[in-house]
């Protein structure tokens, strides 16, 4: 019997806290929805929903602050470059706060552009604009918290971001309930509650860094912080991740837009089936986040001999998670859908398309994991090329070609499976050249 390798324990130690962190996110969304859903005016539900969609575009597009920081920190930590490890954190926070302040400054222009393409009633849009403006005020803290999360993960510490995420969500829920239920602030109350939670999260990260002396402050100098080579690397990696993320946003926005063109039933159906991908992503992102510091540290140490077997161990876990998710979806899809909706017409329609949701884990697991590995070794240019090929060379051509042969929703889901599968295949080919 093959002996249990110690690195499996490291993978679990990093993956499990990240999975827990991911699971806390939809809990907050459900609480906000419940608070707005119990107000007399239904406009609040749509207003907060629209505001969150637009804000997610902004913050999801800037998620490179977490991903870039994680990979670069892991490499510096692996090379035992303590001053650079400290410099990465401070440099990242300064950049995040600076960009966050720019977002606040240009908030009115951003709001005008965002809402100019958003169809809704005048009442909903007015409420949503106020919500958007308030939430944007916390951008400096939200972006800085991404840097902290990525930095701790790069340092092989997934528990502190988990504890901080739990703290942020608890404060957020308590503040939202207080402002909405007891102070009657409606959607504005949800926005201010979220801002307060982001500020508390930022303070919590600062306190943790200072208390446990994760950063040796006496080793930090302005010369180190302004070191052009380090700044250039961060900006280069961030640039690749930013445009890679835009490709992902484009695919899912197009998917939603095409679903809406088919009518409300298909829009609802595809939104429900996408929840299967979200559920799977909770677990696969946990493994991908674990892969970032593992691959990054070995790359920083130039320990290429251990890197390849480490990737193999990560893929064994990824394959297990994908297979388990597929079995759960195959056996329990009806139960899962009934938890999400009681609309019989949507449930009946789902029987024609559930096979695509069941195949999502098998099609997507390699792409998820390779993203984590590529971020760790900062092979972000290859990530960008992968997404460009998967988006414009597979997803769109596949959809438009299949749309001539099969019903539109089948074409849409086949294109999505092709997109997910091609990411893994392309990155596997690229990885062979890297690790040979």
Pair (169, 247) in one structural domain: no
Looking at residue 203, what is its pLDDT?
94
Task: Classify residue 159: in a domain, yes or no.
Answer: yes
Domain final position from 166, 195, 226: 226
Task: Classify residue 273: in a domain, yes or no.
Answer: yes
Give the length of the chain.
Answer: 436
Task: Classify residue 231: in a domain, yes or no.
Answer: no
Pair (215, 249) in one structural domain: no
Looking at residue 1, what is its pLDDT?
40
d(CA 223, CA 86): 13
At 166, list the tokens. Answer: 């739990």
Pair (174, 323) in one structural domain: no
Are 180 and 35 a contacting pair, CB within 8 Å? yes
Pair (354, 411) in one structural domain: yes
Tell how far CA 343 is from the center of its chain.
30
Pair (399, 306) in one structural domain: yes
Domain final position from 170, 205, 226: 226
Cβ-based neighbours of 33, under 8 Å, separated by 6 or more: 45, 48, 49
Looking at residue 78, what is its pLDDT?
82
Quickly count: other Cβ atoms within 10 Å of residue 232's Cβ: 10
Pair (210, 244) in one structural domain: no
Pair (212, 177) in one structural domain: yes
d(CA 279, CA 91): 34
Number of domains in the chain: 2
Domain final position from 165, 191, 226: 226
At 20, list the tokens. Answer: 């827990």
Pair (299, 167) in one structural domain: no
Quickly count: other Cβ atoms within 10 Å of residue 34's Cβ: 12
Looking at residue 233, what is its pLDDT?
74
d(CA 276, CA 317): 19
Q: Mean pLDDT per 10-residue run, the chain (436 residues)?
A: 68 82 66 64 66 76 82 83 81 90 89 72 76 89 91 87 89 87 81 91 90 61 58 78 86 79 74 80 86 85 82 90 91 78 72 88 92 87 92 94 88 94 93 77
Domain that holds residue 61: 1-226
Task: Classify residue 261: in a domain, yes or no.
Answer: yes
Pair (275, 171) in one structural domain: no
d(CA 245, CA 60): 8
Pair (205, 63) in one structural domain: yes
Looking at residue 434, what is its pLDDT?
76
Task: Classify residue 234: in a domain, yes or no.
Answer: no
Looking at residue 217, what is its pLDDT?
54
Cβ-based neighbours of 320, under 8 Å, separated by 6 or more: none
Task: Classify residue 365: in a domain, yes or no.
Answer: yes
Task: Classify residue 133: in a domain, yes or no.
Answer: yes
Residue 39: in which H helix or E strand, if any? none
Pair (25, 164) in one structural domain: yes
Pair (103, 144) in one structural domain: yes
Task: Classify residue 232: in a domain, yes or no.
Answer: no
């Amino acid at each position: 019997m093959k002996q249990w390798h110690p690195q499996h324990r490291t993978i679990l130690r990093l993956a499990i806290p990240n999975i827990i962190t991911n699971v806390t996110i939809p809990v907050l969304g459900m609480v906000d929805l419940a608070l707005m859903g119990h107000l007399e005016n239904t406009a609040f539900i749509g207003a907060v929903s629209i505001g969150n969609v637009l804000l997610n575009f902004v913050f999801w597009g800037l998620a490179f602050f977490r991903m870039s920081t994680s990979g670069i920190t892991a490499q510096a930590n692996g090379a035992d470059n303590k001053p650079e490890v400290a410099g990465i954190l401070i440099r990242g926070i300064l950049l995040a706060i600076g960009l966050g302040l720019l977002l606040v400054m240009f908030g009115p222009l951003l709001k005008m552009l965002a809402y100019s393409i958003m169809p809704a009633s005048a009442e909903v849009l007015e409420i949503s604009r106020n919500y958007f403006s308030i939430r944007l005020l916390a951008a400096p803290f939200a972006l800085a918290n991404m840097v902290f999360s990525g930095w701790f993960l790069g340092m092989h510490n997934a528990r502190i971001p988990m504890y901080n995420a739990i703290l942020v969500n608890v404060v957020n829920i308590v503040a939202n309930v207080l402002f909405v239920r007891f102070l009657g602030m409606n959607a504005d109350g949800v926005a201010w509650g979220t801002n307060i939670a982001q500020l508390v999260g930022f303070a919590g990260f600062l306190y943790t860094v200072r208390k446990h002396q994760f950063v040796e402050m006496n080793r930090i100098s302005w010369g180190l912080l302004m070191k052009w080579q380090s700044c250039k690397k961060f900006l280069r990696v961030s640039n690749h991740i930013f445009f890679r993320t835009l490709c992902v946003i484009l695919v899912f926005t197009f998917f939603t837009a095409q679903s809406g063109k088919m009518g409300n039933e298909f829009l609802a159906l595809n939104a429900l089936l996408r929840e299967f991908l979200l559920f799977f992503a909770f677990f696969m992102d946990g493994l991908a986040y674990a892969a970032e510091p593992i691959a990054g540290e070995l790359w920083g140490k130039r320990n290429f001999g251990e890197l390849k077997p480490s990737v193999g161990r990560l893929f064994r876990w990824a394959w297990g998670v994908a297979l388990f998710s597929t079995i759960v979806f195959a056996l329990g899809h009806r139960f899962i859908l009934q938890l999400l909706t009681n609309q019989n017409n949507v449930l009946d329609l789902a029987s024609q398309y559930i096979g695509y949701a069941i195949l999502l884990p098998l099609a997507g697991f390699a792409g998820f994991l390779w993203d984590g590995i590529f971020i760790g070794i900062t092979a972000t240019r290859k990530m960008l090329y992968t997404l460009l090929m998967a988006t414009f060379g597979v997803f769109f051509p596949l959809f438009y070609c299949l749309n001539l042969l099969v019903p539109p929703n089948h074409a849409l889901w086949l294109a999505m499976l092709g997109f997910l599968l091609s990411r893994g295949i392309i990155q596997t080919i690229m990885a062979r050249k890297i690790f040979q």
